[in-house]
């Protein structure tokens, strides 16, 4: 039976005996402000858009990449439903490229894996329809590191990260998007986010962003 993801709070079965409530309507406190700011900025069909949550928001992309076309469209705390809500702002700009990294906050809020990947599919389909020339890059969700303690809701959910990433690889192949496997590139020998790349087990250090930059440049994704 096909799973349906409701737009309002609902329940997701995580196993045969437990149900966890989840809410797709959550938005960060500064969501409206950030979206209004994004809409006020000039667009160019040469733009390279980085779309996501705090992990994307945490870098100045044009300086990190030495690329004036790079635009930051990350909002700290955002989930896939929030990205869908604000996606028209990106599509209307008809950018050259869109790099998407989103989903770890959904997982922390117990949004079902099937809904997370369904929302990724909607993003890809809407971008393809509204801006056909835009190249779409799906980036796998980064690992986390439970040796830290600041974000307990994000830790110890590695099986969900793995499930979404596996489905994302299939989605990219089906939709003709480019898959960038950040997750593997950021793992230590135990599969955790390498400590040199994080200061809290979730967000990235300067070294982490440099590593991300090097991955993008090595793959010639920015040309």
Indicate the average pLDDT of the chain: 93
| Residue 1 belongs to some domain of the structure | no
Which pLDDT band, with edges at 50, 70 and 90, does 5 fall under?
confident
Q: What is the pLDDT of residues 24-60, one digit of tens each?
A: 999 999 999 999 999 999 999 999 999 999 999 999 9
CATH number at 100 reads 3.40.50.1110
Residues 6+ apart with CB under 8 A from 218: none
Pairing outcome for strands 10-15 and 18-22: antiparallel
Show the domain range for 104: 19-218
213 in Cβ contact with 205 (< 8 Å):
no
Cα–Cα separations (whole angstroms), residue 105 to 6, 79, 113, 220 = 17, 6, 12, 28
| Residue 8 belongs to some domain of the structure | no
| Residue 3 belongs to some domain of the structure | no
d(CA 113, CA 80): 11
Number of domains in the chain: 1
77 in Cβ contact with 53 (< 8 Å):
yes
User: Does the pLDDT value for residue 13 go beyond 70?
Assistant: no
Task: Report the alpha-carbon angle 22-25-27, nearest 5.
Answer: 110
Cα–Cα separations (whole angstroms), residue 14 to 20, 102, 156, 161, 164 = 7, 21, 14, 14, 14
| Residue 122 belongs to some domain of the structure | yes
- CB-CB neighbours of 219 under 10 Å: 12
| Residue 35 belongs to some domain of the structure | yes
């Amino acid at each position: 039976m096909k799973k349906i993801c409701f737009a309002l709070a609902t329940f997701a079965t995580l196993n045969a005996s437990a149900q966890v409530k989840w809410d797709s309507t959550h938005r960060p406190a500064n969501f409206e402000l950030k979206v209004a700011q994004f809409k006020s900025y000039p667009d160019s069909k040469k733009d390279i858009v980085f779309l996501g949550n705090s992990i994307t928001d945490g870098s100045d992309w044009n300086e990190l990449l030495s690329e004036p076309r790079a635009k930051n469209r990350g909002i700290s705390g955002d989930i896939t439903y929030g990205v869908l809500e604000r996606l028209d702002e990106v599509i209307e700009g008809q950018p050259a490229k869109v790099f998407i990294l989103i989903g770890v906050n959904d997982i922390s809020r117990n949004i079902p894996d099937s809904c997370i990947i369904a929302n990724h599919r909607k993003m890809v389909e809407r971008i393809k329809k509204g801006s056909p020339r835009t190249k779409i890059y799906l980036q796998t969700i980064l690992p986390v590191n439970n040796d830290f303690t600041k974000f307990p809701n994000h830790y110890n959910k590695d099986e969900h990260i793995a499930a979404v990433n596996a489905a994302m690889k299939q989605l990219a192949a089906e939709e003709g998007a480019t898959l960038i496997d950040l997750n593997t590139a950021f793992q230590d020998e135990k599969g955790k986010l390498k400590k040199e790349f994080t200061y809290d087990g979730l967000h990235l250090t300067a070294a982490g962003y440099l590593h991300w930059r090097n991955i993008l440049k090595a793959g010639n994704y920015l040309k």
